[in-house]
Amino acid sequence: MFVPGDLVLLVDNKQRRYLVTLDPGGQFHSHAGYVAHDDLIGAAGGCAVRSTRGATYLAFRPTLSDFVLKMKRGAQVIYPKDLAPILMLGDIFAGLRVLETGVGSGALSMALLRAGAEVVGYELREDFAARAVANVSSFLGDAALDHYHVEVRDSYAGIDETELDRVLLDLPEPWQVIEHAAKALRPGGIVVAYTPSITQVSRLRDELAANSFVMADTVEVLHRSWHVEGQAVRPDHRMVAHTGFLTHARLGTG
């Protein structure tokens, strides 16, 4: 049952989605009137509620993907279509010690924490760092903060952590961190970088090769949905195409 403080995703009949935090006495307003939060508190996920103007909404607990797309942002987020491949390319699992630099609004942080990693984040801007922590707490709960430590600092200047298992980079110039990452990672550790530009990839790959990283690979993930309605089955006219390149490599010993 929904309780005060829960996040709820409201979906209307046109599949538009709205993220709401339940507050006793609160109201969700739209062009179709309002829905009283009290109508949702005590109800079960998947229920239907009606607005004061007769619009029907389905109410669900948001998935991580839902939350990332609707949460409050400071910096631009890494989208769900790239978050899932990053977890695979980085081989993220419970208990790993992970450094994430460039935490932005915390989308990747939440994916890492949900997979069970211990995450240290470096973020240059204090307002972005605060937003990331707030988003993590809002979706995963305050207990997640026991495994999440964000420092306001410049990773280009160095990495204090040692014996890391993974280093994840979402920065304009990730090549500036590679030498530091090579010293901070355990042998065999993995670095993953998210970069919008292929020129960034080229310089990054050169720096990886110069610092004993091997098995480097760069991929791009394209996401195309399909229109399926009776016998009308075709690719949608729009797709989520380029967002960024994902480069990953492992630290060798020689």
In tens, the pLDDT along 12-35 reads: 999 999 999 999 999 999 888 999
Give the mean model confidence (pLDDT) for residues 62-76: 90
As a whole number of angstroms, the distance between CA 83 and CA 109 comes to 10
Share of the chain above pLDDT 70, in %: 100
Backbone angles phi, psi at 226, to 5 degrees: -125, 145
Which residues, in sequence order, are bridge partners of residue 113? none
Residues 6+ apart with CB under 8 A from 178: 191, 204, 207, 208, 210, 211, 213
Q: Are residues 192 and 248 in contact, defined by beta-carbon separation less than 8 angstroms?
A: yes
CATH 3.40.50.150 residue ranges for the chain: 66-251
Residues 6+ apart with CB under 8 A from 75: 104, 105, 125, 128, 131
Residues 6+ apart with CB under 8 A from 34: 27, 28, 51, 52
Q: Is it the case that residue 248 has pLDDT exceeding 70?
A: yes
**pLDDT score recorded for residue 74:** 78
Q: Is it the case that residue 254 has pLDDT exceeding 80?
A: no
In tens, the pLDDT along 95-149 reads: 999 999 999 999 999 999 999 999 999 999 999 999 999 999 999 999 999 999 9
Of 71, 54, 76, 53, which is closest to residue 17 (Cα–Cα)? 71
CATH 3.10.330.20 residue ranges for the chain: 7-62
Q: Which CATH superfamily is domain 66-251 in?
A: Vaccinia Virus protein VP39 (3.40.50.150)
In tens, the pLDDT along 207-231 reads: 999 999 999 999 999 999 999 999 9
**pLDDT score recorded for residue 240:** 85
Q: Which CATH number fits domain 7-62: 1.10.10.350, 3.40.50.2300, 3.40.50.300, 3.10.330.20?
A: 3.10.330.20
**pTM given for the model:** 0.91
